[in-house]
Structure 1
Amino acid sequence: MKLGFRDGVLYDEERPNWDAGGPRPISWSLWYPATDDARESDFPERSWFKKVAVARDAPIQPAAGPYPLVLLSHGTGGSAAGLEWLARRLARRGFAALGVNHHGNTGGEPYRAEGFACLWERAPDLSHMLDRCDEWLGDFRGHIDMSRVFAAGFSAGAYSVMLLLGAVVRFSQFEPARLKPGGPRGPREFPDLADHIPALLRSSDAFRDSWSRMSKPYRDDRIKAALLCAPGRSVLGFSEESLKAVEAPALILVGDADGAAPAEECSSWLHARLSRSTLKIFEGGLGHYVFMPEGTGLGFAFAAELFTDPPGIARAAIHEEIADLSAALFEKARIGAIT
């Protein structure tokens, strides 16, 4: 199978960008099965991530029926490219995968404290892509199934996906009133996040408006099942009542040595409050970043901790297993085997 790829930008006119100077941007990337005669080529830019060649803007491979769609939500400070490893494997299993960059919380643009503090803004990014699907589907209309959609997220992306399933936020992880003395004041990518929130509440209309939407429901019933990779401590801010009401099936995956999002503290906590979830803990000393791509020489040079696994662990093999597990979940939901 040839791997097709398209990308672009949509704008959400209902929400401002963090400068309040225009609509919120949503950069997107689409991976899909391309025709057999499509010409693949490598990405021209250097990257920390290993990526396979793609056939940019190639025709989609005709199939007996439309390809199921999986929405992808990256980890905090990451990008859609960080889930290319999953997207291309899903494409090879008969899916189309659509990832977005979450404004202000993505390595695809300068980091913004607003984007890291207001994680609930990520869920509407994904719903907006479904609402405005005609703008990115183009000649793929009819070839991608928009009636039964699935979602997958890593770390903060798992938080985003849980919002789509119906989780409702009670509090934000790093709001100053909830911090413990001597505890972290922000995530690895924005360690002083909590210190920015009081000033933003005083000075930014866009931030205040978003903060007021913290506990708004973001459930999207178009999402029929979800993959949650290493959900972080942010999920502890969900209302337990809202978690008990989640109806869609979810598969939760986590490594047994995840120091950023310990399995017992985060994944097991979430699993215990969902009525239709399955939890798998990968053994062998696997950490948080096994859900990121394999690293290039450049990646190892600048952030070896993101790409180094225990001896004897092949990250690519773990990724293949994850793709098999998620494709099986989505296919069961697609044919109605999960009721």
Structure 2
Amino acid sequence: MKRILIGLAILAGLLAGLALAATLLATGKRPVPDQLAGYHETTLSVGHRDVPVSLHIWYPAAQDGTAELVGQNALFYGQYVLRDAKPAPGAHPVVVFSHGSGGNANNHGWLATELARQGMIVVAPNHPGTMSRDSDPHRTPHIWERARDLHAILDSLETNPPLGMQPDMDRVASAGFSLGGFSALSIAGVRVSKAAFIDYCDRHAGEFDCGWMQAASVDFAAIDPAAYEADYRDPRIKATVSIDPALPQAMTGDSLTAATLPILLVSLGQGEEVPPATRVDAMARQMPQARLVETPGAWHFSFLSECSTLGWIIIGLMGEENICSDIGMRDRGVLHEELKAVISTFLSENLALSPSG
């Protein structure tokens, strides 16, 4: 009995030690910024889906209320916001933002809060079927669903803006990351070829963009070509920011040369170190007003929220690609500050944003 009690005491001590270590390694609170973005969550029912789309909105706000951390957990850092604060007066330009496959809107709150502080309304959906905890490889090729989400969001903002916001629908930009980077380009008029997509996946079988769909036995031949190749241009879009977009090899040359809007292409990495799945230097040369910014010391997942040490460990132990590991790369927080400046400057210039918003 004594040995059992000693063993239990040792086990309890180990568990307590592990709990303490987890606490120390997890995310901690950071200083509250002097200026905070407003933040509002809602849902939008859309005709093309059988479930509502959840929306996350960051916006210029009166500085009243209590700061709240959004998007933070033991693994990822979040951002301070003023939930449902009174919107700042006046009309503000709009940025509709699309997350990557398997991602979510709050993973990019670090950028959205900055854009809102600069005077923009940022609206980001969680796309059903291709988001965190709801990521289906058989739904991933249905890229038209995401484009329709973004159209519906802009329709809703135009007719029924929440909380008394005043979105300026004459100053609208699309933005996105990874598969969302393509979604942003899609509503700016860029189209893709089903045959080119299948050819790319045949040549790059097993790689991270095609591989997980192939492992799930997704039948690419069954993709609806009319829906996949259609033009989803939205005339309200005046500029686009696309970060490491998916499907560059499938984009059609004629749609790239016809994309005359100001477009910022952000490459996470430089030159040949960028994998073919997101390499955009060739397509940038075909786009009349595209500006390509390469980000040294970055990789695809540098664009996600900063991770805690615990996040790096836990996600690494899951056996999949460690989206928190920046080994050999520059500090993710430093990269985020650089990207905030590049993206906010581009949007401010192309949405005619005054210094006061």
User: Do they superpose with TM above 0.5?
Assistant: yes
Residue among 295, 311, 333 paired with 2:350: 333
Report the alpha carbon displacement of residue 230 of structure 1 after superposing the two structures with TM. Answer: 1.2
Report the alpha carbon displacement of residue 140 of structure 1 after superposing the two structures with TM. Answer: 2.5
CA contact under 8 A between 1:76 and 1:189: conserved in structure 2? no
Report the alpha carbon displacement of residue 224 of structure 1 after superposing the two structures with TM. Answer: 0.8
Q: Distance in 1 between matches of 2:75 and 2:216?
A: 29
**Match of 1:127?**
151
Residue among 196, 210, 214 paired with 2:218: 196
**Match of 1:2?**
36
Q: Distance in 2 between matches of 1:174 and 1:312?
A: 30
Residue among 273, 287, 298 paired with 2:299: 287
Answering whether residue 264 of structure 2 is matched by residue 251 of structure 1, we say: yes
Q: For 1:124-176, what per-residue CA distance to the aligned partner results, in whole angstroms no more than 9, with x for missing partners?
A: 1111101122576233242x22221012111111111111111112117764x
**Match of 1:111?**
135
Report the alpha carbon displacement of residue 212 of structure 1 after superposing the two structures with TM. Answer: 3.6
CA contact under 8 A between 2:268 and 2:274: conserved in structure 1? no
Report the alpha carbon displacement of residue 279 of structure 1 after superposing the two structures with TM. Answer: 0.8
Q: Distance in 2 between matches of 1:57 and 1:324?
A: 26
Which sits farther off after the overlay, 262-271 or 96-105?
262-271
Which sits farther off after the overlay, 162-171 or 255-264?
255-264
Q: Distance in 2 between matches of 1:169 and 1:94?
A: 33
Structure 1's unaligned 5+ residue stretches are 17-22, 202-207
Give the secondary structure class of the aligned counterpart of 1:301.
helix
Q: For 1:61-120, what per-residue CA distance to the aligned partner results, in whole angstroms no more than 9, with x for missing partners?
A: 23xx3221111111111111111111011112221211111110111x422233212123
Report the alpha carbon displacement of residue 263 of structure 1 after superposing the two structures with TM. Answer: 7.2
Q: Distance in 2 between matches of 1:140 and 1:278?
A: 35
Residue among 177, 201, 216 paired with 2:230: 216
CA contact under 8 A between 1:71 and 1:126: conserved in structure 2? yes
CA contact under 8 A between 1:154 and 1:228: conserved in structure 2? yes
Report the alpha carbon displacement of residue 239 of structure 1 after superposing the two structures with TM. Answer: 1.1
Structure 2's unaligned 5+ residue stretches are 1-34, 317-321
Q: Distance in 1 between matches of 2:165 and 2:71?
A: 29
CA contact under 8 A between 1:254 and 1:263: conserved in structure 2? no
Answering whether residue 187 of structure 2 is matched by residue 170 of structure 1, we say: no
Q: Distance in 2 between matches of 1:136 and 1:296?
A: 38
Answering whether residue 37 of structure 2 is matched by residue 12 of structure 1, we say: no
Answering whether residue 323 of structure 2 is matched by residue 299 of structure 1, we say: no
Q: Distance in 2 between matches of 1:54 and 1:291?
A: 20
**Match of 1:61?**
88
Change over 3 Å in CA distance of 1:336–1:33 after alignment to 2? closer
TM-score scaled by length of structure 1: 0.82
Number of aligned residue pairs: 315
Q: Distance in 2 between matches of 1:301 and 1:310?
A: 13
Q: Distance in 1 between matches of 2:271 and 2:76?
A: 21
Report the alpha carbon displacement of residue 45 of structure 1 after superposing the two structures with TM. Answer: 6.8
CA RMSD for the aligned pairs? 3.0
Which sits farther off after the overlay, 70-79 or 262-271?
262-271
Give the secondary structure class of the aligned counterpart of 1:29.
strand
Q: Distance in 1 between matches of 2:204 and 2:248?
A: 21
Q: For 1:260-286, what per-residue CA distance to the aligned partner results, in whole angstroms no more than 9, with x for missing partners?
A: 953797210220111101111122x32
* Structure of greater Rg: 2
Q: Distance in 2 between matches of 1:258 and 1:51?
A: 31
CA contact under 8 A between 1:268 and 1:279: conserved in structure 2? yes
CA contact under 8 A between 1:257 and 1:288: conserved in structure 2? no
Q: Distance in 2 between matches of 1:312 and 1:218?
A: 36
| Identical amino acids, percent of aligned pairs | 26
CA contact under 8 A between 1:117 and 1:174: conserved in structure 2? no
Report the alpha carbon displacement of residue 197 of structure 1 after superposing the two structures with TM. Answer: 2.2
Residue among 63, 77, 80 paired with 2:102: 77
Report the alpha carbon displacement of residue 121 of structure 1 after superposing the two structures with TM. Answer: 2.0
Instruction: Return the letter of the residue paired with 2:44.
Output: L
Give the secondary structure class of the aligned counterpart of 1:328.
helix
Q: Distance in 1 between matches of 2:127 and 2:277?
A: 28
CA contact under 8 A between 2:71 and 2:79: conserved in structure 1? no
Q: Distance in 2 between matches of 1:267 and 1:182?
A: 17
Q: Distance in 1 between matches of 2:197 and 2:215?
A: 7
Change over 3 Å in CA distance of 1:259–1:96 after alignment to 2? farther
**Match of 2:20?**
none
**Match of 2:339?**
322
Residue among 92, 97, 100 paired with 2:117: 92
Report the alpha carbon displacement of residue 189 of structure 1 after superposing the two structures with TM. Answer: 8.6
Change over 3 Å in CA distance of 1:181–1:237 after alignment to 2? closer
**Match of 2:13?**
none
Q: Distance in 2 between matches of 1:260 and 1:35?
A: 44
CA contact under 8 A between 1:174 and 1:186: conserved in structure 2? no
Give the secondary structure class of the aligned counterpart of 1:6.
strand
Q: Distance in 1 between matches of 2:225 and 2:325?
A: 37
